[in-house]
A = this chain, B = another copy of it.
Amino acid sequence: MTAEHEPAVASQRIQAVRDYLDALQQRICGALEAADGSARFVEDAWTRGEAEAGGRPAASSALVGLGRTRVLKDGAVFEQAGVNFSQVSGSRLPPAASAHRPELAGAPWSALGVSLVVHPRNPYLPTTHMNVRYFEARPDHEGNDRSWWFGGGFDLTPYYPFDADVVHWHTVARDAVAPFGDDVYPRWKQWCDEYFFLKHRNETRGVGGLFYDDLNAGGFERCFGLTRSVGNAFLDAYLPLVERRKGMPHGEREREFQLYRRGRYVEFNLVHDRGTLFGLQSGGRTESILMSLPPRVRFEYGYTPQEGSAEAKLADYLKPRDWLAG
């Protein structure tokens, strides 16, 4: 393989991932609209800087990119849902992304992904997040097999958790990655618990799911297949919960608790989430990055739920647990 060859190969991989991501965004938006039954997604297509044909990075060190941010507001079921596609390139890999890959420091890079966050109206229906992404960096020398990797996952943040929902969620997650090895689910489930953790609260963001990064083992086809399995499984994991919980009666008390707990979502995303902070610090599109924040939130000093209440029960779900044991 010659250096001149690289771009063509890279371009084919990126194009294959992009085709998948385009279709995934389309499919998820369609399914969420159908589940909502009322509101529609509105799309903002944006570009940034000047990208050369095929999404290759321009000669300058500036970030270039394009995206489609789709947001559904004020739905019957979803108070807000955002499903972003973005593809960005840079002429130099930033330190945050090359810390574990010194050989790629300063290399030209491209990243593309779909990222979504759904904030439902009903407090019995959990908030959820899903992301799949592909990263490619072109080292100066030829044929470096560490020059691309996948990452992603999905996780669930209930307010009033139901064991059946959590077990369903993790069962779909496990089954999605099972064809790729028995060790994948336990490793990525644990990674998810560790990543979505609020150290300053000593609690997880929710009941977890899957999280992975740096996925490169076994070759491109395997890793792309695994990533498609994760992306495709999301609707199977979430839509049944929507159907079960969207109509559950609730009142001001449950709404207030939901608003309060959404505050922890804000805390996680703005204080801990590497993706959010990297995006804001690297000059990403602020509105698209922060569409993950809940539409309405409440903070309250010194709140503690009444002992034995439904609200107090949540704390038991905010520590890692093996949901599929036995």
State the Cβ distance, A282 to closest chain B Cβ, in Å: 10
Interface residue tally for chain A (C-beta within 8 Å): 32
Q: Give the residues from 249 to 283 in chain A that come closer than 8 angstroms, CB to CB, to chain B.
A: 259, 263, 266-267, 270-271, 277, 280-281
B301:A299 contact, CB within 8 angstroms:
no
A302:B71 contact, CB within 8 angstroms:
yes
State the Cβ distance, A289 to closest chain B Cβ, in Å: 8
Cβ contact of A200, chosen from B271, B286, B294, cutoff 8 A? B286
State the Cβ distance, A301 to closest chain B Cβ, in Å: 5
A5 at the interface (CB under 8 A from B): no
Q: Give the residues from 175 to 200 in chain A that come closer than 8 angstroms, CB to CB, to chain B.
A: 199-200
Q: Of all chain B residues, which has the CB nearest A44?
A: B302
A100 at the interface (CB under 8 A from B): no
Residues 292-306 of chain A: 1 if any B CB is under 8 Å from the residue's CB, otherwise 0?
A: 011111111110000
Residues of B within 8 A of A210 (CB): none
A266:B270 contact, CB within 8 angstroms:
yes
A76 at the interface (CB under 8 A from B): no
A290 at the interface (CB under 8 A from B): yes
A137 at the interface (CB under 8 A from B): no
A115 at the interface (CB under 8 A from B): no
State the Cβ distance, A270 to closest chain B Cβ, in Å: 4
Complex: how many Å from CA A80 to CA B286? Answer: 28
Q: Of all chain B residues, which has the CB nearest A259?
A: B296
Query: With A200-B286, A270-B271, A280-B200 in contact, do A263 and B293 touch (Cβ < 8 Å)?
Result: yes
A19 at the interface (CB under 8 A from B): no
B200:A301 contact, CB within 8 angstroms:
no
Q: 10 A-B contacts, Cβ less than 8 Å apart?
A: A200-B280, A266-B266, A266-B297, A267-B270, A267-B290, A271-B277, A293-B299, A295-B298, A296-B296, A296-B298
Known: A200-B281, A293-B299. 7 other contacts (CB 8 A): A69-B301, A259-B296, A266-B270, A267-B290, A270-B271, A290-B299, A295-B300
